[in-house]
Amino acid sequence: MNNNLVLIKNYQKEITILGQNLALLEWDQLTYMPPMGVNSRSEQISLLSNLIHKKMISNELFTSLTALKKQKLSNKDGLMVKKLYKEVSKSRKLPEKYIKELSKTTSLAYTAWELARKEKRFKKFQPYLEKIIKLKKQECNYINEPGHEYNSLLDQYEEGMTVEKLKSVFSKLKKDLINLLNKIKDSSNYKKQKNSMLKQHFSIEKQRNICEDVIKRMGLLNGFSRLDLTTHPFSQKIGIDDVRMATNFRESPLFSFESTMHEAGHALYEFNLPKEDAYNILGNAPSLGIHESQSIFWENMIGKQKYFWQFYFPLFKKEFNLKGDFNQWFKEVNYVKPGLVRIESDELTYCLHIILRFELELGLIEGSIKVLDLPNLWNKKMREFLGVTPNNDVNGVLQDVHWSGGSFGYFPTYAIGTIYSSQLYKQLLKERPFVEEKIRKGNFREIILWLDKNIYKPGNKLTAEEIIKKTCGDGLDPKVFIDYLTKKYSEIYEI
Protein backbone atom coordinates (compact mmCIF):
# COMPACT_ATOMS: atom_id res chain seq x y z
CA MET A 1 0.00 0.00 0.00
CA ASN A 2 1.05 3.60 -0.63
CA ASN A 3 3.26 4.70 2.30
CA ASN A 4 1.72 8.16 2.45
CA LEU A 5 -1.75 6.64 2.53
CA VAL A 6 -0.75 4.37 5.42
CA LEU A 7 0.70 7.36 7.27
CA ILE A 8 -2.40 9.56 6.99
CA LYS A 9 -4.66 6.68 8.01
CA ASN A 10 -2.51 6.08 11.09
CA TYR A 11 -2.61 9.77 11.95
CA GLN A 12 -6.39 9.81 11.65
CA LYS A 13 -6.75 6.76 13.86
CA GLU A 14 -4.53 8.28 16.54
CA ILE A 15 -6.42 11.61 16.39
CA THR A 16 -9.76 9.77 16.60
CA ILE A 17 -8.71 7.69 19.61
CA LEU A 18 -7.31 10.74 21.39
CA GLY A 19 -10.61 12.49 20.69
CA GLN A 20 -12.54 9.55 22.12
CA ASN A 21 -10.44 9.70 25.29
CA LEU A 22 -11.15 13.42 25.48
CA ALA A 23 -14.88 12.67 25.07
CA LEU A 24 -14.72 10.17 27.92
CA LEU A 25 -13.13 12.73 30.23
CA GLU A 26 -15.79 15.30 29.31
CA TRP A 27 -18.64 12.79 29.74
CA ASP A 28 -17.33 11.84 33.19
CA GLN A 29 -16.98 15.49 34.18
CA LEU A 30 -20.65 16.12 33.35
CA THR A 31 -21.98 13.00 35.06
CA TYR A 32 -19.99 11.26 37.83
CA MET A 33 -16.80 13.23 38.52
CA PRO A 34 -16.49 14.58 42.09
CA PRO A 35 -16.65 18.43 42.02
CA MET A 36 -13.17 18.78 43.52
CA GLY A 37 -11.68 16.99 40.51
CA VAL A 38 -12.28 19.94 38.19
CA ASN A 39 -8.76 21.43 38.34
CA SER A 40 -7.06 18.12 37.58
CA ARG A 41 -9.59 17.39 34.86
CA SER A 42 -8.94 20.73 33.15
CA GLU A 43 -5.22 19.84 32.99
CA GLN A 44 -6.03 16.45 31.45
CA ILE A 45 -8.40 17.96 28.88
CA SER A 46 -5.92 20.71 28.00
CA LEU A 47 -3.12 18.19 27.41
CA LEU A 48 -5.22 15.97 25.15
CA SER A 49 -6.60 18.95 23.21
CA ASN A 50 -3.07 20.20 22.60
CA LEU A 51 -1.90 16.74 21.45
CA ILE A 52 -4.77 16.51 18.96
CA HIS A 53 -4.06 19.98 17.58
CA LYS A 54 -0.34 19.23 17.19
CA LYS A 55 -1.10 16.06 15.27
CA MET A 56 -3.53 17.93 13.01
CA ILE A 57 -0.95 20.56 12.07
CA SER A 58 1.98 18.12 11.82
CA ASN A 59 4.33 18.85 8.91
CA GLU A 60 4.63 15.10 8.30
CA LEU A 61 0.85 14.77 7.88
CA PHE A 62 0.58 17.85 5.66
CA THR A 63 3.50 16.77 3.45
CA SER A 64 1.93 13.34 2.91
CA LEU A 65 -1.45 14.86 2.09
CA THR A 66 0.15 17.28 -0.38
CA ALA A 67 1.92 14.39 -2.14
CA LEU A 68 -1.25 12.28 -2.24
CA LYS A 69 -3.25 15.10 -3.85
CA LYS A 70 -1.01 14.70 -6.92
CA GLN A 71 -1.37 10.92 -7.13
CA LYS A 72 -4.02 8.72 -8.72
CA LEU A 73 -6.10 7.16 -5.94
CA SER A 74 -9.34 5.21 -5.66
CA ASN A 75 -12.47 7.37 -5.50
CA LYS A 76 -12.84 6.75 -1.78
CA ASP A 77 -9.20 7.41 -0.88
CA GLY A 78 -9.19 10.47 -3.12
CA LEU A 79 -12.22 11.87 -1.31
CA MET A 80 -10.68 11.13 2.08
CA VAL A 81 -7.49 12.97 1.10
CA LYS A 82 -9.45 15.94 -0.28
CA LYS A 83 -11.54 16.36 2.87
CA LEU A 84 -8.65 15.82 5.27
CA TYR A 85 -6.42 18.21 3.33
CA LYS A 86 -9.06 20.95 3.67
CA GLU A 87 -9.41 20.37 7.42
CA VAL A 88 -5.67 20.21 8.05
CA SER A 89 -5.01 23.28 5.90
CA LYS A 90 -7.58 25.23 7.87
CA SER A 91 -6.01 24.18 11.19
CA ARG A 92 -2.55 25.17 9.93
CA LYS A 93 -3.80 28.67 9.08
CA LEU A 94 -4.31 29.39 12.77
CA PRO A 95 -1.03 30.39 14.47
CA GLU A 96 -0.18 28.59 17.70
CA LYS A 97 -0.06 31.98 19.46
CA TYR A 98 -3.67 32.60 18.38
CA ILE A 99 -4.84 29.16 19.55
CA LYS A 100 -3.28 29.70 22.99
CA GLU A 101 -4.73 33.21 23.32
CA LEU A 102 -8.23 32.04 22.31
CA SER A 103 -8.04 29.09 24.70
CA LYS A 104 -6.97 31.29 27.59
CA THR A 105 -9.57 33.95 26.78
CA THR A 106 -12.48 31.50 26.55
CA SER A 107 -11.43 29.80 29.77
CA LEU A 108 -11.58 33.13 31.60
CA ALA A 109 -14.74 34.11 29.71
CA TYR A 110 -16.63 31.04 30.92
CA THR A 111 -15.92 31.94 34.56
CA ALA A 112 -16.94 35.55 33.86
CA TRP A 113 -20.14 34.34 32.16
CA GLU A 114 -21.04 32.26 35.22
CA LEU A 115 -20.41 35.25 37.50
CA ALA A 116 -22.41 37.56 35.23
CA ARG A 117 -25.33 35.13 35.35
CA LYS A 118 -25.08 34.88 39.12
CA GLU A 119 -25.16 38.66 39.49
CA LYS A 120 -27.56 39.13 36.53
CA ARG A 121 -25.19 41.73 35.07
CA PHE A 122 -24.02 41.51 31.47
CA LYS A 123 -21.28 44.08 32.10
CA LYS A 124 -19.32 41.46 34.07
CA PHE A 125 -19.07 39.42 30.87
CA GLN A 126 -18.82 42.28 28.37
CA PRO A 127 -15.01 42.82 28.25
CA TYR A 128 -14.37 39.10 27.74
CA LEU A 129 -16.90 38.89 24.92
CA GLU A 130 -15.34 41.97 23.30
CA LYS A 131 -11.96 40.20 23.27
CA ILE A 132 -13.52 37.01 21.88
CA ILE A 133 -15.16 38.98 19.05
CA LYS A 134 -11.80 40.57 18.25
CA LEU A 135 -10.15 37.13 18.14
CA LYS A 136 -12.94 35.69 15.97
CA LYS A 137 -12.48 38.51 13.47
CA GLN A 138 -8.79 37.58 13.33
CA GLU A 139 -9.82 33.97 12.72
CA CYS A 140 -11.99 35.06 9.79
CA ASN A 141 -8.95 36.76 8.28
CA TYR A 142 -6.77 33.67 8.82
CA ILE A 143 -9.29 31.21 7.29
CA ASN A 144 -10.49 33.63 4.58
CA GLU A 145 -13.37 31.66 3.03
CA PRO A 146 -14.91 33.29 -0.08
CA GLY A 147 -17.74 35.78 0.38
CA HIS A 148 -18.86 37.18 3.71
CA GLU A 149 -16.25 37.01 6.49
CA TYR A 150 -18.71 35.09 8.71
CA ASN A 151 -18.52 32.23 6.16
CA SER A 152 -15.14 31.33 7.64
CA LEU A 153 -16.83 30.63 10.98
CA LEU A 154 -19.95 29.00 9.56
CA ASP A 155 -18.00 26.60 7.36
CA GLN A 156 -16.43 24.97 10.43
CA TYR A 157 -19.84 23.64 11.43
CA GLU A 158 -21.77 23.52 8.15
CA GLU A 159 -19.50 22.88 5.18
CA GLY A 160 -20.60 24.70 2.04
CA MET A 161 -23.26 26.84 3.74
CA THR A 162 -22.93 30.62 3.32
CA VAL A 163 -24.27 33.81 4.85
CA GLU A 164 -25.69 34.78 1.49
CA LYS A 165 -27.86 31.64 1.39
CA LEU A 166 -28.84 31.74 5.06
CA LYS A 167 -29.98 35.36 4.86
CA SER A 168 -32.46 34.40 2.17
CA VAL A 169 -33.64 31.25 3.99
CA PHE A 170 -33.91 32.89 7.41
CA SER A 171 -35.65 36.00 6.07
CA LYS A 172 -38.51 33.91 4.69
CA LEU A 173 -38.56 31.61 7.71
CA LYS A 174 -38.76 34.51 10.17
CA LYS A 175 -41.61 36.21 8.33
CA ASP A 176 -43.66 33.01 7.98
CA LEU A 177 -43.09 31.90 11.58
CA ILE A 178 -44.13 35.26 13.02
CA ASN A 179 -47.25 35.32 10.83
CA LEU A 180 -48.27 31.81 11.91
CA LEU A 181 -47.51 32.58 15.56
CA ASN A 182 -49.70 35.68 15.50
CA LYS A 183 -52.60 33.74 13.93
CA ILE A 184 -52.36 31.13 16.69
CA LYS A 185 -52.19 33.74 19.46
CA ASP A 186 -55.29 35.47 18.04
CA SER A 187 -57.32 32.23 17.90
CA SER A 188 -60.09 31.62 20.42
CA ASN A 189 -58.83 28.09 21.16
CA TYR A 190 -55.39 29.42 22.09
CA LYS A 191 -56.85 31.83 24.62
CA LYS A 192 -58.99 29.09 26.21
CA GLN A 193 -56.25 26.44 26.54
CA LYS A 194 -55.24 25.31 30.03
CA ASN A 195 -52.32 22.97 30.67
CA SER A 196 -53.93 21.30 33.67
CA MET A 197 -52.66 17.75 32.95
CA LEU A 198 -49.06 18.82 33.50
CA LYS A 199 -49.77 20.49 36.84
CA GLN A 200 -49.16 17.55 39.17
CA HIS A 201 -46.28 15.56 40.68
CA PHE A 202 -44.49 13.18 38.32
CA SER A 203 -42.34 10.47 39.91
CA ILE A 204 -38.72 10.69 38.77
CA GLU A 205 -38.38 6.91 38.93
CA LYS A 206 -41.35 6.50 36.58
CA GLN A 207 -39.99 9.24 34.29
CA ARG A 208 -36.72 7.31 34.04
CA ASN A 209 -38.55 4.06 33.22
CA ILE A 210 -40.42 5.65 30.33
CA CYS A 211 -37.24 7.34 29.03
CA GLU A 212 -35.43 3.99 29.06
CA ASP A 213 -38.38 2.40 27.27
CA VAL A 214 -38.34 4.89 24.38
CA ILE A 215 -34.59 4.69 23.74
CA LYS A 216 -34.81 0.88 23.59
CA ARG A 217 -37.62 1.15 21.05
CA MET A 218 -35.40 3.52 19.07
CA GLY A 219 -32.76 0.78 18.94
CA LEU A 220 -30.31 1.88 21.64
CA LEU A 221 -29.66 -1.20 23.78
CA ASN A 222 -27.74 -1.52 27.05
CA GLY A 223 -24.92 -3.42 25.33
CA PHE A 224 -23.63 -0.30 23.59
CA SER A 225 -25.42 2.65 25.20
CA ARG A 226 -26.38 4.03 28.59
CA LEU A 227 -28.55 6.80 30.02
CA ASP A 228 -27.27 8.91 32.92
CA LEU A 229 -28.20 12.06 34.81
CA THR A 230 -26.73 15.52 34.18
CA THR A 231 -27.64 19.21 34.53
CA HIS A 232 -27.88 19.89 30.80
CA PRO A 233 -28.84 16.89 28.57
CA PHE A 234 -26.20 15.78 26.05
CA SER A 235 -24.94 12.77 24.13
CA GLN A 236 -21.37 11.61 23.50
CA LYS A 237 -19.71 8.96 21.37
CA ILE A 238 -16.89 7.35 23.34
CA GLY A 239 -15.86 4.73 20.81
CA ILE A 240 -17.09 2.14 18.36
CA ASP A 241 -20.22 0.55 19.87
CA ASP A 242 -20.14 2.94 22.83
CA VAL A 243 -22.56 5.87 22.92
CA ARG A 244 -23.59 7.72 26.08
CA MET A 245 -26.65 9.87 26.75
CA ALA A 246 -27.54 12.01 29.74
CA THR A 247 -30.87 13.59 30.64
CA ASN A 248 -32.38 15.64 33.43
CA PHE A 249 -35.66 15.23 35.33
CA ARG A 250 -37.85 18.23 36.10
CA GLU A 251 -41.43 18.82 37.21
CA SER A 252 -42.89 18.04 33.80
CA PRO A 253 -42.15 14.55 32.40
CA LEU A 254 -42.12 16.04 28.91
CA PHE A 255 -38.76 17.72 29.52
CA SER A 256 -36.92 14.47 30.30
CA PHE A 257 -38.88 12.46 27.73
CA GLU A 258 -38.33 14.90 24.85
CA SER A 259 -34.71 15.66 25.75
CA THR A 260 -33.97 11.93 25.99
CA MET A 261 -35.46 11.34 22.53
CA HIS A 262 -33.43 14.30 21.26
CA GLU A 263 -30.14 12.96 22.63
CA ALA A 264 -31.01 9.42 21.52
CA GLY A 265 -31.38 10.75 17.98
CA HIS A 266 -27.81 12.07 18.17
CA ALA A 267 -26.57 8.81 19.70
CA LEU A 268 -28.31 6.65 17.06
CA TYR A 269 -26.63 8.66 14.33
CA GLU A 270 -23.17 8.31 15.89
CA PHE A 271 -23.65 4.59 16.53
CA ASN A 272 -24.76 3.88 12.95
CA LEU A 273 -22.14 5.91 11.07
CA PRO A 274 -20.11 3.58 8.79
CA LYS A 275 -17.87 1.49 11.02
CA GLU A 276 -15.44 0.73 8.19
CA ASP A 277 -14.56 4.45 8.32
CA ALA A 278 -14.59 4.74 12.10
CA TYR A 279 -10.98 5.91 12.19
CA ASN A 280 -10.95 8.30 9.25
CA ILE A 281 -12.68 11.52 8.27
CA LEU A 282 -15.26 9.77 6.07
CA GLY A 283 -16.78 8.17 9.18
CA ASN A 284 -17.68 11.54 10.70
CA ALA A 285 -20.93 13.48 10.42
CA PRO A 286 -20.67 15.94 7.51
CA SER A 287 -22.08 18.83 9.55
CA LEU A 288 -23.73 19.85 12.79
CA GLY A 289 -26.87 20.67 10.80
CA ILE A 290 -27.30 17.06 9.68
CA HIS A 291 -26.52 15.90 13.22
CA GLU A 292 -29.15 18.22 14.64
CA SER A 293 -31.63 17.03 12.02
CA GLN A 294 -31.44 13.58 13.60
CA SER A 295 -32.19 14.74 17.13
CA ILE A 296 -35.01 17.08 16.03
CA PHE A 297 -36.41 14.37 13.75
CA TRP A 298 -36.95 12.04 16.71
CA GLU A 299 -37.92 14.70 19.25
CA ASN A 300 -40.42 16.61 17.09
CA MET A 301 -41.15 14.89 13.80
CA ILE A 302 -41.81 11.55 15.53
CA GLY A 303 -42.24 12.45 19.21
CA LYS A 304 -44.86 15.17 18.77
CA GLN A 305 -47.21 13.36 16.36
CA LYS A 306 -50.65 11.89 17.09
CA TYR A 307 -49.81 8.30 16.18
CA PHE A 308 -46.75 8.39 18.45
CA TRP A 309 -48.88 9.51 21.40
CA GLN A 310 -51.62 7.02 20.55
CA PHE A 311 -49.04 4.46 21.69
CA TYR A 312 -47.45 6.37 24.59
CA PHE A 313 -50.44 8.24 26.07
CA PRO A 314 -51.98 5.09 27.63
CA LEU A 315 -48.60 4.35 29.26
CA PHE A 316 -48.29 7.91 30.59
CA LYS A 317 -51.90 7.91 31.78
CA LYS A 318 -51.40 4.66 33.68
CA GLU A 319 -47.96 5.48 35.16
CA PHE A 320 -48.79 9.05 36.21
CA ASN A 321 -52.53 8.71 36.83
CA LEU A 322 -53.31 11.52 34.36
CA LYS A 323 -56.67 13.25 34.64
CA GLY A 324 -57.84 14.05 31.13
CA ASP A 325 -58.31 12.61 27.67
CA PHE A 326 -56.02 12.04 24.69
CA ASN A 327 -57.01 15.21 22.78
CA GLN A 328 -56.29 17.40 25.78
CA TRP A 329 -52.91 15.74 26.31
CA PHE A 330 -51.95 16.06 22.63
CA LYS A 331 -52.70 19.79 22.73
CA GLU A 332 -50.60 20.21 25.85
CA VAL A 333 -47.68 18.33 24.27
CA ASN A 334 -47.87 20.74 21.31
CA TYR A 335 -48.72 23.91 23.22
CA VAL A 336 -47.31 27.01 21.53
CA LYS A 337 -46.03 29.53 24.05
CA PRO A 338 -43.54 32.26 23.10
CA GLY A 339 -40.96 32.25 25.86
CA LEU A 340 -37.67 33.80 26.88
CA VAL A 341 -35.46 30.71 26.93
CA ARG A 342 -34.36 28.91 23.76
CA ILE A 343 -33.96 25.41 25.22
CA GLU A 344 -37.48 25.52 26.68
CA SER A 345 -39.18 26.75 23.50
CA ASP A 346 -41.76 24.87 21.42
CA GLU A 347 -41.14 23.62 17.87
CA LEU A 348 -42.83 26.65 16.26
CA THR A 349 -40.94 29.41 18.08
CA TYR A 350 -37.55 27.64 18.40
CA CYS A 351 -36.12 28.84 15.10
CA LEU A 352 -36.99 32.46 15.94
CA HIS A 353 -34.57 32.18 18.87
CA ILE A 354 -31.89 30.94 16.46
CA ILE A 355 -32.47 33.64 13.83
CA LEU A 356 -32.18 36.29 16.56
CA ARG A 357 -28.74 34.96 17.50
CA PHE A 358 -27.66 34.69 13.86
CA GLU A 359 -28.55 38.33 13.19
CA LEU A 360 -26.67 39.48 16.29
CA GLU A 361 -23.60 37.38 15.43
CA LEU A 362 -23.47 38.83 11.93
CA GLY A 363 -23.61 42.35 13.32
CA LEU A 364 -20.87 41.64 15.86
CA ILE A 365 -18.52 40.19 13.24
CA GLU A 366 -19.30 42.92 10.70
CA GLY A 367 -18.81 45.60 13.36
CA SER A 368 -22.28 47.12 12.96
CA ILE A 369 -23.19 45.99 16.50
CA LYS A 370 -21.17 46.80 19.61
CA VAL A 371 -20.98 44.32 22.46
CA LEU A 372 -22.06 47.12 24.80
CA ASP A 373 -25.41 47.35 22.99
CA LEU A 374 -26.19 43.61 23.00
CA PRO A 375 -28.62 43.48 25.96
CA ASN A 376 -30.86 46.20 24.52
CA LEU A 377 -30.71 44.81 20.99
CA TRP A 378 -31.48 41.31 22.31
CA ASN A 379 -34.54 42.56 24.18
CA LYS A 380 -35.72 44.59 21.19
CA LYS A 381 -35.53 41.57 18.87
CA MET A 382 -37.30 39.37 21.43
CA ARG A 383 -40.22 41.82 21.45
CA GLU A 384 -40.20 42.01 17.65
CA PHE A 385 -39.95 38.24 17.05
CA LEU A 386 -41.83 36.72 19.98
CA GLY A 387 -43.68 39.50 21.76
CA VAL A 388 -41.90 38.90 25.07
CA THR A 389 -39.20 40.87 26.91
CA PRO A 390 -36.56 39.41 29.26
CA ASN A 391 -36.81 40.73 32.81
CA ASN A 392 -33.05 40.32 33.33
CA ASP A 393 -29.88 39.42 31.41
CA VAL A 394 -29.95 35.79 32.60
CA ASN A 395 -33.17 35.18 30.68
CA GLY A 396 -31.85 37.33 27.85
CA VAL A 397 -28.39 37.82 26.43
CA LEU A 398 -26.63 35.66 29.06
CA GLN A 399 -28.76 32.51 28.67
CA ASP A 400 -26.44 30.59 26.29
CA VAL A 401 -22.91 29.43 27.07
CA HIS A 402 -21.80 29.27 23.39
CA TRP A 403 -20.34 32.78 23.04
CA SER A 404 -18.15 32.37 26.12
CA GLY A 405 -16.51 29.41 24.34
CA GLY A 406 -16.02 31.33 21.11
CA SER A 407 -18.62 29.25 19.21
CA PHE A 408 -19.61 31.77 16.56
CA GLY A 409 -21.20 30.27 13.44
CA TYR A 410 -22.66 27.43 15.53
CA PHE A 411 -26.22 28.64 16.22
CA PRO A 412 -27.45 28.57 12.59
CA THR A 413 -26.95 24.79 12.49
CA TYR A 414 -29.86 24.38 14.93
CA ALA A 415 -32.28 25.98 12.48
CA ILE A 416 -30.70 24.22 9.51
CA GLY A 417 -31.16 20.89 11.28
CA THR A 418 -34.76 21.71 12.13
CA ILE A 419 -35.58 22.44 8.48
CA TYR A 420 -33.76 19.30 7.33
CA SER A 421 -35.73 17.20 9.83
CA SER A 422 -39.05 18.34 8.33
CA GLN A 423 -37.83 17.48 4.83
CA LEU A 424 -36.76 14.01 5.97
CA TYR A 425 -40.08 13.45 7.72
CA LYS A 426 -42.04 14.42 4.60
CA GLN A 427 -39.96 12.07 2.45
CA LEU A 428 -40.24 9.19 4.94
CA LEU A 429 -44.05 9.39 4.88
CA LYS A 430 -44.02 9.64 1.09
CA GLU A 431 -41.87 6.52 0.65
CA ARG A 432 -43.26 4.50 3.58
CA PRO A 433 -46.79 5.70 4.39
CA PHE A 434 -47.39 2.54 6.43
CA VAL A 435 -44.84 3.74 8.99
CA GLU A 436 -47.56 5.67 10.85
CA GLU A 437 -49.32 2.44 11.75
CA LYS A 438 -46.02 0.92 12.91
CA ILE A 439 -45.36 3.92 15.18
CA ARG A 440 -48.90 3.67 16.57
CA LYS A 441 -47.91 0.20 17.81
CA GLY A 442 -44.58 1.36 19.29
CA ASN A 443 -42.50 -0.13 16.46
CA PHE A 444 -39.80 2.24 15.13
CA ARG A 445 -37.82 -0.33 13.14
CA GLU A 446 -38.92 0.98 9.73
CA ILE A 447 -37.80 4.49 10.61
CA ILE A 448 -34.32 3.28 11.57
CA LEU A 449 -33.96 1.22 8.38
CA TRP A 450 -34.93 4.25 6.28
CA LEU A 451 -32.53 6.56 8.12
CA ASP A 452 -29.74 3.99 7.87
CA LYS A 453 -30.06 3.85 4.10
CA ASN A 454 -30.37 7.60 3.53
CA ILE A 455 -28.56 9.35 6.38
CA TYR A 456 -26.31 6.99 8.35
CA LYS A 457 -24.57 5.07 5.55
CA PRO A 458 -23.27 8.09 3.56
CA GLY A 459 -21.25 9.26 6.57
CA ASN A 460 -19.06 12.15 5.44
CA LYS A 461 -18.81 11.09 1.79
CA LEU A 462 -21.35 13.78 0.88
CA THR A 463 -22.02 17.22 2.32
CA ALA A 464 -25.17 17.66 4.40
CA GLU A 465 -26.84 19.57 1.57
CA GLU A 466 -25.99 16.79 -0.89
CA ILE A 467 -27.43 14.14 1.44
CA ILE A 468 -30.70 16.05 1.80
CA LYS A 469 -30.91 16.76 -1.92
CA LYS A 470 -30.26 13.12 -2.79
CA THR A 471 -32.82 11.89 -0.23
CA CYS A 472 -35.53 14.52 -0.55
CA GLY A 473 -35.03 15.93 -4.05
CA ASP A 474 -34.14 19.45 -2.86
CA GLY A 475 -31.60 21.06 -0.56
CA LEU A 476 -32.43 23.28 2.41
CA ASP A 477 -36.09 24.27 1.97
CA PRO A 478 -37.86 26.30 4.71
CA LYS A 479 -41.20 26.02 2.89
CA VAL A 480 -41.44 22.32 3.81
CA PHE A 481 -41.02 23.21 7.49
CA ILE A 482 -43.58 26.04 7.33
CA ASP A 483 -46.08 23.82 5.50
CA TYR A 484 -45.65 21.14 8.18
CA LEU A 485 -46.23 23.64 11.01
CA THR A 486 -49.17 25.33 9.27
CA LYS A 487 -51.02 22.06 8.66
CA LYS A 488 -50.41 20.72 12.15
CA TYR A 489 -51.21 23.83 14.18
CA SER A 490 -54.13 24.91 12.01
CA GLU A 491 -55.77 21.63 13.05
CA ILE A 492 -54.80 21.94 16.72
CA TYR A 493 -55.98 25.57 17.09
CA GLU A 494 -58.66 25.47 14.35
CA ILE A 495 -57.35 28.53 12.54
Residues recognised as catalytic: 263
Residue 352 CB partners (closer than 8 Å, separation 6+): 174, 177, 178, 181, 385, 386
Query: Residue type for 175, please?
Result: K
The span from the CA of 38 to the CA of 469, in Å, is 44
The span from the CA of 296 to the CA of 266, in Å, is 9
- The angle at the Cα of 291, spanning 157 to 279, to the nearest 5 degrees, equals 80
Residue pair 150/140 in contact (Cβ under 8 Å)? The answer is yes
Helices (H), 70-162: 75-92, 96-119, 126-143, 151-157
Burial class (CB in 10 A: 0-12, 13-18, 19+), 61: buried
Q: What are the distances in angstroms from CA 178 to CA 170, 394, 458, 482?
A: 12, 24, 36, 11
3-state secondary structure of 234: strand
The span from the CA of 284 to the CA of 413, in Å, is 16
Residue pair 305/38 in contact (Cβ under 8 Å)? The answer is no
Residue pair 119/128 in contact (Cβ under 8 Å)? The answer is no
